[in-house]
Amino acid sequence: MSEQASELRARWRALPPSTRDELVRTGRTGDPEAQWVAVHYARTRLGRLRRLVRVVLLVYIVVLGTALGLLRASGLLNGPGVSVAAAVVTLPSVLGLFAWFRGQVIVFNRVLTVNETAPLPEAAAPPGPDASGAAGWRADGWRADGTRRGESLVVRVVPRRLIVHLGGMALALAAVGTMLTAFERGFSAAVTCWVGAVVVLGLLGLGLVRMRRSNPLVTLSEEGVRVTGWRTSVPWSRITGVRVVAPLSGRGGPRVIALGVTASEQLVADLTGRYAQAARRSMSAYGTPLSFTDRYTDTTVHEVASAASAWTGLPVRSS
């Protein structure tokens, strides 16, 4: 660990316990110094978390393999006993590690989204009033009211990607069940595979219905950000930050864009049904109700972030 990272960790631990608890639970604090420490510590912590998980998993595999080998060599466990012991120990351990890792990523991403509201750089500040330009727009991309011009962007979900993903899983389960039945090996396992295939197909159908109701997913325009199913658009004047959140694996995979907004609690209160539930989950995970993933969309979150940055003048941050 570098000297800077050690200093940030020490300053984080030196914060009053009540302040740390508030930051962990809500991502918010009224202390400017604590806010600065939390943001910089979160950046450092997120960078180390993925490496830490890989190291822990590697050490776990080595230790578990060595322990099981010694137990088998000493005669305390036979062949089937080794497999059972490995499954009993590994399943809760891996699930616990993943839950801890995901919780840490959510906490520190929420801290960044809530506290890292970047002011407009002086170099990018809108110039004075100018009468040129059509419909109130100036040639330099700014309007007289201080808002910036960007390009409209419509983000649509692609049902084909969901069909390939879940349909492929259902097909694989059905194939395994068919092979087990054909070779008369493990009838109960074959039934489990068939039931799993039916469940996955049910999830596929539900997902396709929701996609149809939520298409297009998000629209970025002069009015602001409109999410399908929300009663109104969120104007650009309420957007306080643009953040791209990397996948948990740290490599390829779907990413999340989180747009910080003012008065986020009021925004959630104005929603109903599953849209309110999704907004509350987003608030808990990223500190803002306005977030979505590009898992099944025709537009990447980087493209959305660039468009949002063009409309607001805010920099795109990543974690």
pLDDT per position as a tens digit, 224-233:
898 887 877 8
HEC profile for 149-168?
CCCCEEECECHHHHHHHHHH
The band of 210, judged by pLDDT with boundaries at 50, 70 and 90, is confident
- How much is the pLDDT for 294? 84
Q: Is the pLDDT of residue 113 over 50?
A: yes
- How much is the pLDDT for 108? 81
Mean pLDDT of 16-34: 81
Q: Is the pLDDT of residue 130 over 60?
A: no
Mean pLDDT of 153-182: 86
Q: Which one-letter amino acid corresponds to residue 309?
A: S
Q: Is 221 helix (H, G, I), strand (E, B) or coil?
A: strand
Whole-number Cα distances in Å, 42 to 56, 96, 108, 232, 245:
20, 22, 5, 33, 13
CA 99 to chain centre: 14
What the block records as the tokens of 15 is: 């914060």
Most confident residue range from 47-56, 146-155, 186-195, 264-273: 264-273
The model's pTM is: 0.60
Q: Is the pLDDT of residue 74 over 70?
A: yes
- Residue 254 sits at the vertex; the CA angle it makes with 250 and 255, to the nearest 5 degrees, is 70
- Would you kindly state where each structural domain of the chain is located, as residue ranges? 3-115, 122-154+217-318, 159-213
Q: Is the pLDDT of residue 121 over 60?
A: no
Mean pLDDT of 209-230: 85
- Residue 309 sits at the vertex; the CA angle it makes with 304 and 315, to the nearest 5 degrees, is 120
pLDDT digit string, tens, across residues 35-72: 888 888 887 787 777 778 778 888 888 887 787 777 77
The stretches of the chain forming alpha helices (DSSP H) are 3-14, 17-26, 32-73, 79-115, 159-182, 187-213, 264-269, 273-286, 301-312
Contact between 152 and 222 under an 8 Å Cβ cutoff? The reply is: yes
CA dist., res. 42 & res. 104, Å (int): 10
Q: pLDDT above 70 covers what percent of the chain?
A: 81
Contact between 143 and 127 under an 8 Å Cβ cutoff? The reply is: no
Q: Is 226 helix (H, G, I), strand (E, B) or coil?
A: strand
Mean pLDDT of 181-196: 75
The band of 272, judged by pLDDT with boundaries at 50, 70 and 90, is confident
Q: Considering all CA atoms of the chain, what is the largest pairwise distance in Å, rounded to the nearest integer?
A: 89
Provide the Cα torsion 282, 287, 290, 291; round to 10°. Answer: -60
Contact between 286 and 251 under an 8 Å Cβ cutoff? The reply is: no
Give the residue with greater pLDDT, 16 vs 145. 16
Contact between 17 and 29 under an 8 Å Cβ cutoff? The reply is: no
- How much is the pLDDT for 124? 40
What the block records as the tokens of 302 is: 């980087």
**Considering only CA atoms, which of 129, 154, 311, 303 is closest in space to residue 238?**
311
Mean pLDDT of 236-265: 80
